[in-house]
Amino acid sequence: MAIFDYRAKNLAGQTVEGAVVAPTDGVAYDTLREKQLTIISLKERPKTAKFLGTNLFSRVSIKEQVIFARQLAVMIAANVPIVRALRILVRQTKNVHFKMILSDVLDEVDGGAKLSTAMARYPQVFNTFFVSMVRSGETTGKLDEVLVYLADQKEKDYGIISRVRGAFIYPAVVLFAVVAVGVVMVIFVLPKLLTIFAEGGAELPVTTKMLIAVSDFVRNQWYVVVLIVAAAVGAFMWWRRTENGRRVLDILKLRTPIAGKIFTMIYLTRLSRSLSTLLGSGVPISQALAITGEVVGNHTYQAIIQRTIQEVEDGNSITTVFVKSKQVPLMLSQMMAVGEQSGRLDQVLLKVAQFYENELDGLIRNLVSLIEPLILLLMGVGVGFMVSSILLPIYNVSNAIQ
């Protein structure tokens, strides 16, 4: 597939510009003619531009994935052939990167491949859970229902993540403002007061001496500060991409006070809902567990699920490992045991997922209520430190002059 930039005139005689994804310039011409455009120029975009545009700066948002799943579900439910439905979606998609992916999926399906097989080639857009659900829909003949469900699930996951991020936006903004004010005071305000302090001859408080030392270091060794910060950020970004780094960060997420409980609820919700959906769609339990392990997004729970798969394959209960794990609440393992014995494990897990979603909402509300007074307290401490460091020496100097 290639990207062709075009200039053309529409039916109103207006000149329009854009890009079209097609295997050849002939197909690109046909595509534009079908849109009733009179082509002025058509040029293939250089591969370097394609690389930069699609790999570094382009991504497929959750909103675009949701729209794609819903529109495809509507067309399949209306008995539109899947190849034709995909061709329509390719034309409607504005994101060039996503358009290229859908074009390749279209080519694969048009060549006889299954939709799930074609999607599996792009895990950065269609994850294992998405592909497995589409495959189950193809098998059961309920692909339209599965796509609607996937769109709903992605919206719910996005909603959970948005609520968690929203809870941390306020403290992050306030913290940034406090740090910014502190930096301005240390670099620009405090040095001008040093002359007054030196001429007064009064003894300076410890807090003022600390601020002066920091101010001197920042003003005279600013490049060292920049290098240290840049090196620390670079080292952390590299480390968090390593296997050990991801594992350690996943452990810290679960053990961090307050936030750890929120992360735990998120992972338990994903685990319960994903496993419920897969089992309800007829996916074998071992395969369903393997897919859930990839979807849950935490090494600790992935390790628990991997051990559970081994136990299930050996003929043991699915709750064998869950019961012994400290990261799994007793309620979850007990409910899974009840569902396993009654043969309604998928329905029980769905109820558990709904329970954890409600718990998560409550935790986020409590966190927001707790953050506001905590931020005010921290601001008070910071402002008090700055005021005492600046006003006290001024008071001492004025007394010395008298």
- Report whether pLDDT(349) > 80: yes
- Report whether pLDDT(57) > 60: no
State percent of the chain over pLDDT 70: 89
How many other C-beta atoms can be found within 10 angstroms of the C-beta atom of residue 88?
Answer: 14
- Report whether pLDDT(40) > 90: no
- Report whether pLDDT(71) > 60: yes
CA distance 263 to 167: 13
Most confident of 39-48, 54-63, 93-102: 93-102
Between 60-64, 315-319, 389-393, the lowest mean confidence (pLDDT) is in: 389-393
CA distance 212 to 222: 15
Extract long-range pairs of 288-294: CB within 8 Å, 24+ residues apart. 289/318, 291/128, 291/129, 291/132, 292/129, 294/127, 294/128, 294/129
pLDDT at 120: 86
> What pTM value is reported for the model?
0.65
Band (51; pLDDT cuts 50, 70, 90): very low
Going from the C-alpha of 77 to that of each of 84, 274, 298, the distances in angstroms are 13, 24, 36
More confident residue, 198 or 211: 211
More confident residue, 37 or 205: 37
CA distance 46 to 358: 50
Closest alpha carbon to 28 in 3, 51, 55: 3
pLDDT at 304: 93
CA distance 387 to 211: 11
Contact 304, 328 (CB under 8 A): yes
Ordered by where they begin, the domains of the chain are 2-56 (3.10.20), 62-154 (1.20.81.30), 159-402 (1.20.81.30)
**Residue 288 class from Cβ within 10 Å (0-12 exposed, 13-18 middle, 19+ buried)?**
buried
Show the tokens assigned to 135. Answer: 């495959």
Taking only the tens place, the pLDDT of each residue in 80-91 is 999 999 999 988
For 13: left if phi > 0, alpha if psi spans -120 to 50, otherwise beta; the answer is left
- Report whether pLDDT(218) > 90: no
CA distance 232 to 310: 40
Between 23-27, 78-82, 109-113, 337-341, the lowest mean confidence (pLDDT) is in: 23-27
Band (219; pLDDT cuts 50, 70, 90): confident
Phi and psi at 314, nearest 5°, equal: -85, 0
Band (54; pLDDT cuts 50, 70, 90): very low
Most confident of 104-118, 129-143, 149-163: 104-118
pLDDT at 339: 92
| C-alpha neighbours within 13 Å on the C-beta side of residue 131 | 19
Between 133-137, 155-159, 228-232, 296-300, the lowest mean confidence (pLDDT) is in: 155-159
More confident residue, 155 or 396: 155
pLDDT at 397: 63
